[in-house]
Structure 1
Amino acid sequence: MPTRIRTTNRISCVEPPTFRTKYKVRIRRLLVLEMKFLATLQLLAAAAEAALTWQNVKIGGGGGFVPGIVFHPTVKGVAYARTDIGGLYRLNNDDSWTAITDGITDNENWHNWGVDALALDPQDANIVYAAVGMYTNDWDPKSGSIIRSSDKGATWKVTNLPFKVGGNMPGRGMGERLAVDPANSKILYFGARSGNGLWKSTDGGATFSKVSSFTAVGTFIPNPNDVGGYNGDKQGLAFVTFDSTSGTTGGATKRIFVGTADNTTASVYVSEDAGATWNPVKGQPGTYFSHKCVLQPKEKALYLTYSDGTGPYDGTSGAVYRYDISAGTWKNITPVSGSDLYFGFGGLGVDMQKPGTIVVASLNSWWPDAQIFRSTDSGATWSKIWTWANYPNMNLYYGLSASKAPWIKTGFLDTDTKDLGWMIETLVINPLDSDHWLYSTGLTVFGGHDLTKWDTTHNVSIQSLADGIEEFAVLELASPPGGSELLAAVGDDSGFTFKDAASLKTSPNTPWMNPIWASSSSVDYAGASVKNIVRIGNSAGSQQVALSSDGGSSWYVYSGADNNMNGGAVAYSAKADTIVWSTSTNGVQRSQNQGSFSAVSSLPSGAVIASDKQNNTVFYGGSAANFYVSTNTGASFSKAGSLGSATAVRDIAAHPTKAGDVWVSTDAGIFHSTNYGSSFTQVSTALKNTYQIALGRGSGTTWNVYAFGTGSAGAKLYGSADGGASWTDIQGSQGFGAIDGCRLAGSGNQAGQVYVGTNGRGVFYASGEIKKRSMVFKA
């Protein structure tokens, strides 16, 4: 009998030689398998340890457009909100929201943050569906999907569609385009865009097939001349609404209504045989586009809002209708007429507890404010949420607050007549609570918990209820060492300053103001005088450069700017006396000491720019395959060291505390210079095709390097604690969307802290030590 064989570094046997030879081969194989297994475990452990834990910087208040909110019809507290570029959110018991689609929105699937439709299963409150995809033109290379979750968005399954979905396309506030049969959870209908018609699933969303009997496709195109552009596609279908009062046939709801983006003879169709055949609903209005369609089952009636545009930005006329299903009759219940009717209608809330009680909102009333109407008699009479007093004074039948996001009040409510908002495409009343209502605007989600006071004291309390929704498109980030912890330039909402690490968890009191612009495209700090900040706006027709001398707390217009330049990127000299601006309109420009800007002809238009953070005379530039340096405060630039095989300079990061130390991100990877760009060394080729790059404080006196690129874990965010010699995946399972659209900053003050700005999910941050790991085996 042989002795026991152990798969260790020793083999002890007493068998004949042939036996030993035979089993040595087997043992070697076992050793190899064991080493591979151990290596796999170590790699998994390293990945688990390396990936950081991410959370949102709390800007708060929403920050973007929420086209749809859906409550579950029978289970209290279950509701979801869909955004056009920031994914899905689930409502919490404290009025806050939790993002639930980050995990399926990585670099390859960035379009999953565009949500064009949302549906809940009436029979199971754990199940949620959404139609995802960002654009139907070539901006989005992928087809759309129907995603489904059976655990309230904790995990998802994906069904790919054979066409694109337009979560951020015109008409995205219509809907909902996706619906679950209330009598059969296996049946779903989805109304597609681009002429693709109506689609049906009979297996709970696992597969979909086209409904051949439904031939309407929604033919309206906002701009037929914009072929292949943003406004050049058919809007498609607008909504799917089941009539739960109609009974069933073959286990499916008999009556189904479908709306289309048409404003001619018909935009509402009905099936009386569970989708086998379809016909236009008789007697319907044919002038406007239907936006929302809600069933009030106790009345056995549909309520619909109409506008002369498909939204969300337009609308100069419209209507509200009630359709009596039993009688087959339509009634125009539009709240206003004549000269008072200068807007279309979007948001529509139907009180399921009190038949006949409805609330509707103007889609866009740009002056003086939105208008909201309420009826308790099925639209026979209406009351308004505000009326004119002695012009220009108004009688306000509401109180409005934004304590959860104070910047909304200081930056918008106190500076604009439009307190109630704009782009109101969704307005919902909690079906189980007549006092709880929510409506969304282009800025935030408003709502309250005393809606029925409208009927008694005619004065309701409205507040921003978007806490947890971070739908900001981030255009630039900076973290000055020894200065403000974070400067965030954002689209649509100007920008924000976070003075220290503690403030990252609190919504700011103000946005960037005086001046306030719709969008700030870039921000930079003076490296040797970090309280001095410059930012650039993206609005044409006014001065778009502003300075701060107190770290971004207050601002003033840069007098040297004119009204003809905007957008692009900015670089501030180390001692805050020179601005180099790579504009989006007038090439590269330079100004000193509040003087007028003049063109820098030696640097190509659209060049990437940066300033040396310690040497006041040095600026850097990059364009195509070339790196440029200026040693005369940006007056002129010359080509400098070679970047190897790179053909595209994408980002430049100057070391915050070392003069002449500069990092360059390119399509060929990362290059590093310690001599002002005179020569470069390519760092580890383990990270390729890189985008934004940043430096942040590491342990002790070291600085970490962070970069978006393609490495061992795919196209993600990586960190290095050894000067780029090795790279670790620090992103993990957190989705940031497309990495080429993300912005990046390492903290100048907090060791191991890094910030990521996304296109639609605000700013994320995480902290942790980046450890270099190697595989060690005993043999």
Structure 2
Amino acid sequence: MKKFFSSIQLLLLGTAQAASQWQNVRLGGGGGFVPGIVFHPKTAGVVYARTDIGGLYRLNAADDSWTAVTDAITDDAGWHNWGVDAVALDPQDDAKVYAAFGLYTNDWDPSNGQIGRSADRGATWQFADLPFKVGGNMPGRGMGERLAVDPANPDILYFGARSGKGLWKSTDGGASFAKIDSFTAVGTYAPQPGDTTGLNSDIQGLTFVTFDSTSATLDGATSRIFVGTADNSTASLYMSEDAGATWSALKDQPGKFFPHKGKLSPAEKALYISYADGTGPYDGTNGAVYRYDIAAGAFKDITPSIGEAINFGFGGLALDAQKPGTVVVASLNSWWPDARLFRSTDSGATWSQLWEWADYPEMNLRYKQNVDKAPWIGPGFLDIDTKDLGWMIEALEIDPHDSDHWLYGTGLTLYGGHDLTKWDAGSWDEKLTISSLADGIEETSVQDVASVPGGTELLAATGDVGGFTFADAAALGTAPKVNWMNPQWTTNVGVDYAGAAVKSVVRIGNSAGTKQIALSSDGGATWREHPGADTSANGGTVALGADGKVVVWSAASGSVLRSQDEGAFSKVASLSSGAIVASDKQNGSVFYGGSGSSFYVSKDAGSSFGATGKLGSATAVRDIAAHPAKAGDVWVSTDAGVFHSTDYGATFTQTSTTLTNTFQVALGVGKDKESWNIYAFGHVAAGPRLYGSGDSGATWTDIQGDTQGFGSIDGGTKLAGSGNVAGLVSQSSSLIDYFGNNKASTADDNVGARDYYIVDEHHHV
């Protein structure tokens, strides 16, 4: 199943000529899966984290925050660059970083993958096109790293492909790649061969490439290379001792598991491998950890014992470069009661656990947790679940320059700390601190956004972590203390407010079989279940009447529904299933609808709808935005452009023929706080971008700029102009960004822009 994942961003535009600038609207906790972390082996503080749908990030070591380094390459044409399937660093040049870009190997992503290369730590990128797809959000995305730079020769890179495409090599520093025909293993495992979507039926290919930096060089290249493959038969680990000319399967290797990580300990001349019986990130009920003695050519099973049968595989694997023989491994998925992490200081001969059972159900813990950077993780997750340490642990690293600094990725956030060696104290009382350290990483699924004039500045309905309320503009720079709870659903897909009763808010979720609509009477600070809800409806779009008395809900699970005064929902027969719905923000009797090429109006508080004015040559109504302050003033986004009505939709005028094929449309307070800006995703001569107008749509200005991408503008993006702060607009697309001063500029002074919040959107599974 596809989902759209997003975040929220702010662009500042002023009057002086300067480039657009972006920073995060702060959630602080990541909000999604971090499958890979790479430390530079020689330069302290150079660290990258890859995400499956949120791009690539670089660590700011001074404060444990992260900076997005792929936003500029994720525009409408390059939206697939949000998926990062592998990362590699040049050991000889700490400014160089390489990444494998692409979201899916099935038809959800129509584009082939690319290997991106940057010589300035991600500030700018160049690309090598690949003749096949890359799957940064495909099953098995936590394995790796599939991309590696030869430590003896930085012109040489290897990339292990998916989909049976084999092993590829570059000899020009990543500018081009060619297939290595002598490597014939392709990684034949597919989780579900019969899956017609192609998501689980595609074979997962190669899982990691690891150079042996202790081996001799051959013609200037490292001679010994290890490659893992997604096979669980007799061989899944291969080695070359002649710089990739020939390959052979390692003898006596484990045969029934998939190798997830293969990491070299140079001082020990050993390769450590984590194995699981699933390829992740969700599966795995058995597994092992092995140590391969390179000189002896022998494997040793060093799997930690838990005193009972193992019901999980192993994913994350970290080595301490400062203390050879010190190893940390993590369960790929231990769904109850928590993740399992183990540490050995004697090359896996003995292990200690991060927690163990005391008198059941009590647990002895070697750690305490800190979520100051993302306080909502506490009440929203840690306080209501046993899995304090997380799940889907594939990325796990110890800083090669600091034995106390470590990081690991989960399905929710990125954890870590700066006192790892406390683990070795041998006492349950000497606890290390595990903190959420994902500040700046944003891959939260923002499904909808709303800004309430005279009320809450931003309401963000999100996937996986529910949703968030930002009371005012100042709150946009601070991680929320709590996510949407009581009721708490995994995903909220819609939110709306009452224009004349601004404390009244409604939200909807998309989980089938449970009640999925909630109300707030305090602007989204607290919530209660809608008393008229039943379990038959979920998803879709929702509209709350201007007086807060009527809810019209176009449910994805069926019909358009209506509830008045919090009563039971009944079917609205005059709107077809799947119609877009919106409310007039000043007249509680009026609602709007859109379906196909037709626009509909209800003047009896949503009881019935009738078709009204024509929308030119449009064949698809895509979004409806009622003016926050003027009754009967409504804007409609269509495949032919933006249309405007001032008479409740009786007649429409197209705003401008230069802006065509539009998707979302929104209104926000203009520079004098009396005028209103119009914002839309659409096409003009400059291409598909986010545009703004300060003259009622007569002219449109590109407000996206060249340094920020929002992914595909037709990928479910949402817009909400601020009703409180001049020039502020929230957009649901793919990264939550925030900016708060007046240094940038716009070519159109009429827009009166000062701050722009935006959110990007991706497909996620």
Question: 1: CA distance between counterparts of 2:538 and 2:404?
Answer: 46
On the 8 A contact 1:527/1:656 being kept in 2, the answer is: yes
Counterparts of 1:186-335 in structure 2 under 5 Å? 186-335=155-304
* Contact persistence 2:25–2:477 (CA under 8 A): yes
Q: Which amino acid aligns with 1:530?
A: V
Q: Which residue does 1:737 correspond to in 2? A: 711
1:168 maps to which of 110, 120, 137:
137
* Per-residue deviation, 1:467: 1.0
1:357 counterpart = 2:326: yes
Partner of residue 600, structure 2: 628
- Per the alignment, residue 716 of structure 1 pairs with 689
What is the SS of the residue equivalent to 1:298? Answer: helix
* Aligned-pair CA distance for 1:729: 0.4
Whether contact under 8 Å (2:14, 2:746) holds in the other structure is no
Determine the structure 2 residue equivalent to 1:698.
670
- Which sits farther off after the overlay, 334-343 or 113-122? 334-343
**Where do 1:466-615 residues align within 5 Å?**
466-615=438-587
Whether the aligned pair in 2 keeps the contact of 1:256 and 1:272 (CA below 8 Å) is yes
The offset of 1:55, in angstroms, is 2.6
Aligned match of 1:342 in 311, 317, 322? Answer: 311
Change (3 A) 1:561 1:268: same
- For 1:459, the equivalent position in structure 2 comes to 431
Give, in whole Å, the separation in 1 of the partners of 2:487 and 2:402: 42
State how far apart, in whole Å, the 2-side matches of 1:599 and 1:166 are. 42
For 1:23-42, list aligned pairs within 5 A. Answer: none
Residue equivalent to 2:341: 372
Q: Distance in 2 between matches of 1:574 and 1:769?
A: 35
Q: CA deviation at 1:739?
A: 1.1
Alignment partners' CA distance in 1, 2:264 and 2:588: 67
Q: Measure the CA separation in 2 of the matches of 1:47 and 1:212.
A: 57
Q: Distance in 1 between matches of 2:731 and 2:695?
A: 21
1:657 to 609, 614, 629: 629
* Distance in 2 of aligned mates of 1:764 and 1:506: 10
Letter in 2 for 1:328: G
Counterpart residue number, 2:57: 89
Q: Distance in 2 between matches of 1:426 and 1:268?
A: 20
Q: Please, what TM-score do these two structures have when normalized by structure 1?
A: 0.92
Tell me which amino acid in the other structure corresponds to 1:74. Answer: K
1:414: Cα distance to partner? 1.0
Counterpart mapping for 1:766-777 below 5 A: 772=748
What's the offset of the Cα at 1:54? 2.9
Q: Closer, same or farther in 2 for the Cα pair 1:251/1:47, shift >3 Å?
A: farther
What secondary structure sits across from 2:154 in the alignment?
Answer: coil
Q: Name the structure 2 match of 1:21.
A: none
1:353 positional shift:
1.1
Letter in 2 for 1:543: K
What are the superposed Cα offsets for residues 268-314 of structure 1, whole Å, 9 maximum, x if unpaired?
11101000001111111010111111000111111111111110011
2:487 is aligned with what amino acid? P
Deviation, structure 1 residue 51: 6.8
Q: Per the alignment, do residues 720 and 198 of structure 1 end up closer, same or farther by CA in structure 2, a change over 3 Å counting?
A: same
Counterpart secondary structure, 1:563: coil
Following superposition, the deviation at residue 339 of structure 1 comes to 4.0
For residues 712 and 764 of structure 1, the distance between their equivalents in structure 2, rounded to whole angstroms, comes to: 28
Structure 1 residues 418-429: aligned runs within 5 Å: 418-429=387-398
Identify the match of residue 446 of structure 1 among 415, 427, 432.
Answer: 415
The amino acid across from 1:750 in the alignment is V
Match of 2:736 among 732, 742, 762: 762
What is the alpha-carbon distance in structure 1 between the residues aligned to residue 614 and residue 18 of structure 2?
A: 33
Paired residue secondary structure (2:214): strand
Q: What is the match of residue 53 of structure 1? A: 21
Secondary structure (helix, strand or coil) at the match of 1:244 reads coil
Aligned mates of 1:511, 1:146 — CA distance in 2:
37
**Which residue matches 2:3?**
none
Give, in whole Å, the separation in 1 of the partners of 2:475 and 2:533.
32
Task: Give 2:151's match in structure 1, choosing from 182, 191, 205.
Answer: 182
Match among 745, 748, 751 for residue 723 of structure 2: 748
1:565 CA displacement = 1.7
The residue type paired with residue 57 of structure 1 is V
Once residues 393 and 317 of structure 1 are traced to their aligned partners in structure 2, the CA distance between those partners, rounded to angstroms, is 25
Residues 1:115 and 2:84 are matched in the alignment: yes
Report the counterpart of residue 650 of structure 2 in structure 1: 678
Partners of 1:290 and 1:304 within 8 A in 2: yes
Q: Look up the SS of the partner of 2:184 in the other structure.
A: coil
Q: Which amino acid aligns with 1:68?
A: G
**Does the Cα contact within 8 Å between 1:112 and 1:133 map onto a contact in 2?**
yes
User: Given that residues 424 and 442 in structure 1 are in contact (C-alpha distance below 8 angstroms), is that contact kept between their aligned partners in structure 2?
Assistant: yes
Three-state SS of the structure 2 residue aligned to 1:190 is strand
Q: Distance in 1 between matches of 2:20 and 2:246?
A: 54
Give the drift of 1:568: 1.4
CA RMSD, Structure 1 to Structure 2 (Å): 1.7
Structure 1 Cα separation of the partners of residues 322 and 130 of structure 2: 37
**Is the 1:128–1:152 contact (alpha carbons within 8 Å) kept by the matching residues of 2?**
yes
1:177–1:191 Cα contact (<8 Å) kept: yes
| Equivalent position of 1:42 in the other structure | none
Q: Structure 2 unaligned runs (5+)?
A: 1-12, 751-765
Q: Deviation at 1:542? A: 1.7
Q: Is the Cα contact below 8 Å between 1:671 and 1:680 reproduced in 2?
A: yes
> Following the alignment from structure 1 to structure 2, what is the Cα–Cα distance between the partners of residues 601 and 47?
50
The equivalent of 2:34 in structure 1 is 66
**What is the aligned partner in structure 2 of residue 32 from structure 1?**
none
The match for 1:641 among 613, 616, 627 is 613
Q: CA deviation at 1:107?
A: 0.6
Structure 2 equivalent of residue 5 of structure 1: none
Higher helix share: 1
Cα distance in 1, alignment partners of residues 436 and 183 from structure 2: 41
Q: Which residue of 2 aligns with 1:727?
A: 700
Letter matched to residue 189 of structure 1: Y
The amino acid that maps onto 1:743 is: K
- The structure-2 alpha-carbon separation of the partners of 1:46 and 1:753, relative to structure 1 and needing over 3 Å to count, comes to closer
* Per-residue Cα deviation, 1:8-60 (whole angstroms, up to 9, x for no partner): xxxxxxxxxxxxxxxxxxxxxxxxxxxxxxxxxxxxx9999597433321111
| 1:194–1:236 Cα contact (<8 Å) kept | yes
Name the SS of the counterpart of 1:359 in structure 2.
strand
Instruction: Tell me which amino acid in the other structure corresponds to 1:746.
Output: G
Give the greater-gyration-radius structure (CA): 1
Per the TM alignment, residue 437 of structure 1 is displaced from its structure 2 partner at its CA by 0.5
Report deviation, 1:249: 0.6
Distance (whole Å) between structure 1 residues aligned to residue 502 and residue 309 of structure 2: 53
Contact map agreement 2:118 2:125 (CA 8 A) in 1: yes
Please list the CA deviations of residues 543-588 of structure 1 after superposition, one character each: whole Å capped at 9, or x if unmatched.
1111111111111111211122211111101111111111111221
Matched, 1:147 2:116: yes
Range with bigger deviation, 563-572 or 412-421: 563-572
When residues 48 and 757 of structure 1 are mapped into structure 2, their CA distance, relative to the original with a 3 A threshold, is farther
Query: Which region of structure 1 is more displaced relative to structure 2, 537-546 or 178-187?
Result: 537-546
Q: In the alignment, residue 308 of structure 1 is paired with which amino acid? A: D
Counterpart Cα distance in 2 of 1:607 and 1:232: 34
What CA distance in whole angstroms lies between the structure 1 residues aligned with 2:91 and 2:103?
27
Q: d(CA) in 2 for partners of 1:52 and 1:154?
A: 15
| Partner in structure 2 of residue 40 of structure 1 | none
Q: Distance in 1 between matches of 2:536 and 2:311?
A: 33
TM-score by length of 2: 0.93
**Equivalent residues of 2:28, 2:374 under 8 A apart:** yes
Structure 1's unaligned 5+ residue stretches are 1-44, 775-779
Asked if the contact 2:15–2:749 (Cα under 8 Å) also holds between the matched residues in 1, the reply is no
